[in-house]
Structure 1
Amino acid sequence: MHSFAQEDPITPLPIKAIQDSIVAPLLPANILNDSIPLDSVQSDTVPKKEAALLDQIKYKAKDYVKLSQSENKIYLYDEAEIYYQDTELKAGIIVLDYIANEVYAGRIKDSTGTYSQFPYFKQGGNEVRPDSIRFNFDTQKALIWNSRTEQQAGLGQLGSDAMKVYAEITKKENDSVYFLSEGKLTTSKDTVNPDYYIRIRKAKFVPKKKIIAGFSNMYIADVPTPIALPFAYFPLTTGRTAGLIFPTFGNDPQRGYFIQNGGYYFPFNDYVDLSLTGDYYTNGSFGFRGQSIYTKRYKFRGNINFSFENLIQSQRGFDDFSRSSNYNIRIQHSQDPKASPNSRFSASVNLGSSQFFTNSLNQINRNDVQTNTFASSISYSKTFPAYPSVNTSITLSHTQNSRTEQIVMSLPTFQASMERIFPFAKRDGIKKGLIQNVNFQYDVNAQNTITTDEQNFSFDDARIGARHRIPLATNFKVAKYLSVTLNGNYEDVWTLETINRRFDEDLQETVTDTIAGFDRFNRYNFGASVGTTVYGTFNFGEDKKIQAIRHVMRPSISYNYAPSFEQFFDTFVDGNGEEVQFTPFETSLYGRPSLNRSNSMSFSLQNTLEAKVRDKDSTATEPRKVSILSNLTFTTSYNFEADSLRLSPINMNGATEIIKNVPINFAATFDPFAIDNNGRRINTLNINNGGGLFRLTSARINTGFSLNSDMFKKGGAKKSEEDSDQEQDPGYGDNPFALNDRARTGETFFQREEDDQGNVENPTYSNKLPWDARFTYVATYNNNNRQRELTNHSLMFSGNIKLTPKWEVGFNSGYDIRNKGFTDTRFIFNRDLDSFRISFDWTPFGQFERWYFFIGIKSSILSDLKWENRSQPFRR
């Protein structure tokens, strides 16, 4: 309904018009040049007042629109609306004063005394939901009672968070400044009865930018807390903004009071940022960390992390005083494939002190305390696509064992390989027969390798070498079913360092001299293999539960020959007058030439076994395939050059999933020869020595499986599409106990979160208790010397139990059956308190015994409102 106010039409009087007889004289032609002086005031100096309303006001109401000319007001009732430029006002009742250009909006009360149709005021991008409002179109000022507004701010993992701003009285000064009196700030979803809020007495509010308040303190369930500030600043900007990172406070019995993880955040631009944080202890210990994340769409992305800790134990002058410095550097860089299809640069760096994570006092390093190996790799690769294509790469690599503190670096490794070439066949033609399938490749590998340790780090023991390799091969069919492969391999090894051995008469010992300079040796070998595939099917009948079993065997025989390379060996006479052979290439990175001739034959038999089973579903038209053995392989070899023990032990490897979702891997070694009383193999078959055909020398089995509550529901693990989508990414990542904090979307400003049963605020489980568990079992058996020993026998397990929709318990542990003890055991308790989050991380015993408690606001805007407490790591 639209209405517009106007005056009543004028009714003409019935008077006849008579022409006047007086004729006015005409003005003279020279009136413009008359000598009569003009008035000195030619124009009014007071500027005319412009129209206050610059646009048409549109209004409507559901019940009625009343115009009062005596009051110069328009009354709109029930679902009233007014639109003026970028201003929108909706309410139960609206009163418009079209002379003062002011509007008043308020609620209406129904027959039960309940207020409804609260005002909704929107100007530009700012929205306010008050109880009542008074607004002036001329000055753009407003007076608002009991206003509620929502501001998007921060940038969390799930996007920007919402800050709810409530004030009893709000004065709108202009488009960008509001003054609040008796306000509340909260991120709680329930704005009527928030579980917490920050009370502010007076504040200046700039939408989408900031709130500057006087004395402020925190209320929990309407109960004031001692958490207060004489003045406060709340940033409301979205995206990344520079600012302080609030630290954690605590006390260490040995290092004194401390602050941790405090610092500053620098967002340099849209591509790069930097976080600088640090720790400080009153006994002088300190640490600092720097983290930078960078990204450029369709180009690259990565992050750089650097940590340093200077730890002081006890106090200077005491017997237990000690000081240690630890550092860690982590770099991740990946290039977008679209940036350059023929070249790629990537980096994955993790290096530092071996005991960094073990000795670190910061909780953020808790998940890495069992890290045993640091590995790094920085590589650049380029492909030259023209035929024959060549792939090249340069890699810097690093491997560090945190237990032995040994460091192996390759600075750098260069690799190049040429694609396979068929010289006797057309490039795009079909290759048939012995000659057309002849092919060769070429590749080169060059390294500069350094092996050292943390205590005696040095580049003096660097070894440099290169290896050129040309493999040659062909394959063809014989008798239609036999596949024959012939192959040969040539290698040329370069080195910049050789050795020379001699016996020193003065020292009466053998001396090894290192000789710097280029040298080389070559080696080559030949081989042939024959293989085929045999299929066997055993049918039991379509009326049987097991209708058929299919057995596939892939036997193969291969022969390898490599000559002796005696030309690369020298001799010297030792102190006993005996001639001793040695090779100058003993320190080569790519092995040494062999003095012994290699002449052996290898045997392999690979098996797969599967069955056709009648499907339980009566509507199924085809039987169901079940894998009994996905792999069962036997391998052995026979050495023609050996003077004894020519047949090597038989190795068996197998895998099966006969139990659904429970993969089982197993392996064993069988030796046909017996051993003497000292455990040494003798050239006597075990069966001729009173034993069986083979002697079991080692065995291994491992299996792992997962269970969850859905598997035990009616219908098995079938889930709805919604549940499946939610469980595709459980959110565990590197931490198996990280809870899946699913994004809650689609909720409006006044909605509350509801569970599946429709309960609000405090949902409970009636007949379900969601849980999941993961198990890994490993057993290793050793019987090389009749010891019959289980060298490894352990069970690892982890999982999560969701006691209620907001209570979750995670655990990770294992039991060493052989040594009768638990491995590193960890429990994590998480409680969702709507706006707050509580977590308790507890390692009850072991080398890393400790606990950690945290409670804080989930929203990233007020994430600094938290409390943490922890024990100190237990040191043995």
Structure 2
Amino acid sequence: MSVSNTEPNLQNNRIGALRTLKHYLTIFLTFLLTVGGFLYGQEIPVKTETKIIITDTLEKSPSLETDTLSLNFKSFLTETNERVKDTVKSDTLIPVKEVLADVVEYYGEDYVYLDRKENKVYMYNKAYIIYEDMRIDAGLIILDYNKNEVYAKGIDSAGDYRQRPVFIQGSNKVEPDSIRYNFNSKKALVFNSRTEQNGFNVISEVTKKVNDSVIYLRNVRFTTSKNIDDPEYYFYTRKAKFIPKKKIVTGLTNMYIADVPTPVGLPFAYFPLTEDRTSGFIIPSFGENNSRGFFFQNGGYYFAISDYLDISAMGDYYTNGSYALRGESSYVMRYKFRGNVSVRFENLIDGERGFPGFSQSSIYNIRWTHTQDAKSSPSSRFSASVNLGSSKYFTESINQTNNASALVNTLSSSVSYSKTFEGDPQVNFTIAATHSQNTQTQQISMSLPNLNASVSRIYPFAPKDGTKKGIIENINFQYNLTAENRIQTTDSLFFKPEMFHNAQVGAQHSIPLTTNFKVLKYLSASLGSNYRETWMLKTTRQYYDENAFNGRGGIVKDTISGFDSYRTYNFSASLGTTVYGLFNFGKDNKIQALRHVMRPTVGYVVNPSFDRYYDEFRIPLTAEEAAGELVQYSRFENTLYGPPGKTYSSSIGLGLSNTLEAKVRNRDTTATEPKKVILLNNLNFSTAYNLAGDSLQWSDLRFSGSIPVVPKLDFNFSGSLDPYALDNNNRKIDVFNIDNGGSLFRLTNANVSINYSFSSKDFDKRTTSKDRLENETFRNGGRPDDLFGEAADIYDGQIYEDESPEEEEARTNVDWYNYSIPWDMRLAYTITYANDRRQSEISSQSLMLSTNLTVAPRWTVGVSSGYDFKNKGVTLTQFRFQRDLESWQMSFNWTPIGSINTAWYFFIGIKSSMLSDIKYDKRRESDKRL
């Protein structure tokens, strides 16, 4: 039942009846009349207005126990011709100000008892009381009107203390053993309270709530453990001051693990509890390195600039003088864009200055990723993916334990902006800057910037309504523009003025003109021509100078600055069709039907000769003889797009694509249709015949295809077949191999690759997607999976930070007698065969394997390794061990075998980001100089 009561005082107050005092009034009036008569007989009476004012005032004291009656007679004179007027003033009752300013709502499932004698209300079993923004739920609640207090506690039944009080005020929630709350002062006294603040569980023996902003605690435990009654670790302090949603300030604080005190302690502690991100120091880890001495790593400061932008600045320092600086920033604008920026620099010192073996070097790395929401601006888009720096950064970094990143051979970058102008025709343009860097050769190629523009296809003869038919109506053309400023440099000249000295600038315009039509209803034909004009700002002039090179003579190449251009064109035609073959075996067979789809094509291409763009000069055999070797060259050599072709070519291209499918009986008896299975996917053959060639007119027959073995497992293959034979010196001759006593074709090269990725979740039909932008290895240029080892993030070491409470509960709360072990596996196999000069050898063959197995609800082990069959050795190998310690996490990564890194990394720390600085990590680096 529910009772609402606005009467704060339930006392039975006695109010006495108002007395008129008539007998006193009669005597007093008789006395006045006698005196009045005596005075009237002596003189003429004065005419006076006579009033009787009776003031009856009842003042209500806090106890309401006494009544006060006051009579006031100003004048009482009588006249013979006038009646006496009696005026009574109304009573005034001054009520006591009520203590409770709002309705008090209370409830008890078993009973609600109102004791009027003691002025108390008792509520029992699943009781609650609500007053303003305060609510208390408990097994027993006592409301005392005498003290304006409420007392709540649980129900103790046979040693089982249940229905503990739950005190909620605003957004704060406390679960104590018992509580006292005063309505007047709004103070509370809580015993054995339990509350949660921003991931912190606070257990206090005694809590005194002074007001809404300040709470004092005594004998307090702080922990992030979810087991509040028996936490695996906690921080203990005797006195603390708690300001909700802001901070906790304590006195002497010690860390306990399994109720055992540790020497880890502080004279005072400060725990921020703000819900928003706040700036603060990042506590570094420390240790000792055998070659660089004592160090501090990953210490710095975090700047929480706003909800959309943050910056973290960190650094390392070694006592031998080595140091590292890193800056990380993430930004996001919801429904518009997001990205992150990372700049890393390291100054490395090896050995002792002045002694042999001393070396000093600097390495750096810059990363920037920016993605735009496609809905924010459909007609324009800006994106960035930058990864550049020293070629040896990932192999020499003193604070990098990422095996997969160390195996990266190419660093690439791209920053682009594209815009689309809607209309008919549609115009598109993209301006970008690209970068490609080979970490092995340290060669860098940059395009800074490049421009691509195009105008969509225009059909000048198309009808306004209806479909286009015939060769004339399908005639179309478009316009494409490519302009570029290309820079070729090396790692040592990167970001230096010398890198721009050999920059090449050029532009290329192209106008393709095509049409398509049907021939004999089943053949699709197309005709086309392409006009291309190339511009550049630098050309080359060559000549022989007998006095050059200190009189030895030689070919001199001069760079001519200035605008120059050339124009080329070609013609093409193609004819193709699709042939279907169907073989039915009957519905009673397991294989009911086979379907073979073939797509043969024939193409013809003519490339005219543009020898007019070529010049020539002679190299004399002797100084006296003018005639000599004739050398032809084009002034457009060594330009951005190269010279035009000087050789006339006319070739026919042949191609054939095959797909083989089968219809098999479906194992699902409820299915009404057979199951479709792909047996052979895109088996392609292609070759060409040069009509203008005088020898070796046939090109190699190239083939490629894919055979699906099981879902997610494809058998991919490719290769080349040469129809010509080799002579005794293994050189190709103009004789067919079959005419030289061999087979019809000679296999010159082949490649087979298998990639397979599957897990236990595939059988549960559950898929998970990972954000590649947050993958450290992918941002460094490597594979986003763990085929070459999992990245150990030494900056925070978090393993389970992305798990929701539901996912963690599903992972850890399992039935051991019916436990499905989660696992995953990635497999990659490749083999390459080479026989272009009768070597008949396997040029490369390797098998890579990576797997993870959850051997227990909180134990995960993994391994990434491989075997090189060519070199007969084990490739880079990594073992991983991860342990979920409920509130803590532990990981150990060990790389015992590897050509680049052989090291190990150990980490143990608290999961919660609030206490992420409480951790211990230890690692052994490989010798970067090897």
Q: TM-score, normalised by structure 2?
A: 0.85
Corresponding residue number in structure 2 for 1:852:
905
Corresponding residue number in structure 2 for 1:104:
151
Aligned 8 A contact 1:627 1:658 in 2: no
For 2:148 and 2:316, locate their aligned partners in 1 and report how far apart those are by CA, in whole Å: 59
Query: Which 10-residue stretch deviates more, 579-588 or 534-543?
Result: 534-543
Equivalent position SS for 2:395: helix
Go from structure 1 to structure 2 and tell me whether the alpha carbon gap of 1:753 and 1:667 turns closer, same or farther (over 3 Å shift).
Answer: closer
Amino acid in the other structure paired with 1:702: S
* Alignment counterpart, residue 799 of structure 1, candidates 838, 851, 859: 851
The one-character-per-residue Cα deviations of 1:448-476 (angstroms, maximum 9, x if unpaired) are: 10101012342100001111101011111
Go from structure 1 to structure 2 and tell me whether the alpha carbon gap of 1:17 and 1:410 turns closer, same or farther (over 3 Å shift).
Answer: same
Query: Which 10-residue stretch deviates more, 613-622 or 662-671?
Result: 613-622
For 2:306 and 2:812, locate their aligned partners in 1 and report how far apart those are by CA, in whole Å: 43
Corresponding residue number in structure 2 for 1:122:
168
Aligned 8 A contact 1:272 1:295 in 2: yes
Count of paired positions: 836
For 2:524 and 2:105, locate their aligned partners in 1 and report how far apart those are by CA, in whole Å: 88
Corresponding residue number in structure 2 for 1:136:
182
Aligned 8 A contact 2:814 2:857 in 1: no
Corresponding residue number in structure 2 for 1:360:
397
Aligned 8 A contact 2:878 2:895 in 1: yes
* Alignment counterpart, residue 562 of structure 1, candidates 586, 594, 607: 607
For 2:864 and 2:153, locate their aligned partners in 1 and report how far apart those are by CA, in whole Å: 58
Corresponding residue number in structure 1 for 2:680:
629
Query: 1:367: how far off?
Result: 4.7
Query: 1:707: how far off?
Result: 4.2
* Alignment counterpart, residue 435 of structure 1, candidates 454, 467, 472: 472
Query: 1:419: how far off?
Result: 0.5
Aligned 8 A contact 1:361 1:873 in 2: no
* Alignment counterpart, residue 790 of structure 1, candidates 842, 845, 863: 842
* Alignment counterpart, residue 61 of structure 1, candidates 108, 119, 129: 108
Equivalent runs, 1:854-873 vs 2, <5 Å: 854-873=907-926
* Alignment counterpart, residue 520 of structure 1, candidates 561, 565, 577: 565
Amino acid in the other structure paired with 1:697: T
The one-character-per-residue Cα deviations of 1:578-606 (angstroms, maximum 9, x if unpaired) are: 33211100022112111110111111111
Corresponding residue number in structure 2 for 1:476:
517
Amino acid in the other structure paired with 2:108: A
Corresponding residue number in structure 2 for 1:155:
none
For 1:598 and 1:616, locate their aligned partners in 2 and report how far apart those are by CA, in whole Å: 56
Corresponding residue number in structure 2 for 1:374:
411
Equivalent runs, 1:416-815 vs 2, <5 Å: 416-457=453-494, 458-507=499-548, 508-576=553-621, 577-709=628-760, 718-719=763-764, 724-725=765-766, 727=768, 733=775, 734-736=784-786, 737=790, 743-745=803-805, 764=816, 768-815=820-867
Go from structure 1 to structure 2 and tell me whether the alpha carbon gap of 1:377 and 1:510 turns closer, same or farther (over 3 Å shift).
Answer: same
Aligned 8 A contact 1:850 1:874 in 2: no
Amino acid in the other structure paired with 2:545: D
The one-character-per-residue Cα deviations of 1:77-98 (angstroms, maximum 9, x if unpaired) are: 4434322211212323333332
Query: 1:625: how far off?
Result: 2.0
Matched, 1:282 2:333: no
For 2:865 and 2:463, locate their aligned partners in 1 and report how far apart those are by CA, in whole Å: 60
Equivalent runs, 1:322-361 vs 2, <5 Å: 322-361=359-398
Aligned 8 A contact 1:399 1:409 in 2: yes
Query: 1:185: how far off?
Result: 0.4
Amino acid in the other structure paired with 2:894: W
Aligned 8 A contact 1:307 1:327 in 2: yes
The one-character-per-residue Cα deviations of 1:536-581 (angstroms, maximum 9, x if unpaired) are: 2223333332222222211111111111111111111212323321
Amino acid in the other structure paired with 1:776: A
Query: 1:427: how far off?
Result: 5.0
Aligned 8 A contact 1:347 1:377 in 2: yes
Query: Which 10-residue stretch deviates more, 211-220 or 384-393?
Result: 384-393
Unaligned stretches of 5+ residues in structure 1: 36-46, 153-161, 711-716
For 1:53 and 1:116, locate their aligned partners in 2 and report how far apart those are by CA, in whole Å: 30
Aligned 8 A contact 1:765 1:805 in 2: no
* Alignment counterpart, residue 405 of structure 1, candidates 416, 432, 442: 442
For 2:656 and 2:130, locate their aligned partners in 1 and report how far apart those are by CA, in whole Å: 84
Go from structure 1 to structure 2 and tell me whether the alpha carbon gap of 1:402 and 1:788 turns closer, same or farther (over 3 Å shift).
Answer: same
Go from structure 1 to structure 2 and tell me whether the alpha carbon gap of 1:345 and 1:239 turns closer, same or farther (over 3 Å shift).
Answer: same
For 1:756 and 1:256, locate their aligned partners in 2 and report how far apart those are by CA, in whole Å: 42
For 2:253 and 2:404, locate their aligned partners in 1 and report how far apart those are by CA, in whole Å: 37
Query: 1:225: how far off?
Result: 1.1
Matched, 1:91 2:138: yes
Matched, 1:838 2:890: yes
Go from structure 1 to structure 2 and tell me whether the alpha carbon gap of 1:210 and 1:787 turns closer, same or farther (over 3 Å shift).
Answer: same
For 1:61 and 1:227, locate their aligned partners in 2 and report how far apart those are by CA, in whole Å: 47
Corresponding residue number in structure 2 for 1:158:
none
Go from structure 1 to structure 2 and tell me whether the alpha carbon gap of 1:757 and 1:299 turns closer, same or farther (over 3 Å shift).
Answer: closer
For 1:90 and 1:399, locate their aligned partners in 2 and report how far apart those are by CA, in whole Å: 66
Go from structure 1 to structure 2 and tell me whether the alpha carbon gap of 1:385 and 1:69 turns closer, same or farther (over 3 Å shift).
Answer: closer
What's the % identity of the aligned pairs?
50
The one-character-per-residue Cα deviations of 1:191-216 (angstroms, maximum 9, x if unpaired) are: 11111111111111111111001111
Amino acid in the other structure paired with 2:919: K
Higher alpha-carbon Rg: 2
The one-character-per-residue Cα deviations of 1:478-532 (angstroms, maximum 9, x if unpaired) are: 1111111111111111111111111102132111111111111111100111111
Query: 1:16: how far off?
Result: 13
Amino acid in the other structure paired with 1:348: S
Aligned 8 A contact 2:800 2:911 in 1: no
Amino acid in the other structure paired with 1:787: Q
The one-character-per-residue Cα deviations of 1:302-322 (angstroms, maximum 9, x if unpaired) are: 111111111111222221211
Aligned 8 A contact 1:765 1:804 in 2: no
Go from structure 1 to structure 2 and tell me whether the alpha carbon gap of 1:7 and 1:578 turns closer, same or farther (over 3 Å shift).
Answer: closer
Q: Superposition RMSD on alpha carbons, in Å?
A: 2.9
Query: 1:418: how far off?
Result: 0.5
Query: 1:643: how far off?
Result: 1.3
For 1:726 and 1:214, locate their aligned partners in 2 and report how far apart those are by CA, in whole Å: 49
Query: 1:390: how far off?
Result: 1.0
* Alignment counterpart, residue 129 of structure 2, candidates 82, 93, 118: 82
Amino acid in the other structure paired with 1:343: S
Q: TM-score, normalised by structure 1?
A: 0.90
For 1:651 and 1:608, locate their aligned partners in 2 and report how far apart those are by CA, in whole Å: 17
For 1:80 and 1:618, locate their aligned partners in 2 and report how far apart those are by CA, in whole Å: 57
Amino acid in the other structure paired with 2:99: A
Equivalent position SS for 1:578: strand
Query: 1:477: how far off?
Result: 1.1
The one-character-per-residue Cα deviations of 1:130-187 (angstroms, maximum 9, x if unpaired) are: 11222222212222211111112xxxxxxxxx21001111111111111111100011
Go from structure 1 to structure 2 and tell me whether the alpha carbon gap of 1:643 and 1:398 turns closer, same or farther (over 3 Å shift).
Answer: same
Go from structure 1 to structure 2 and tell me whether the alpha carbon gap of 1:756 and 1:240 turns closer, same or farther (over 3 Å shift).
Answer: closer
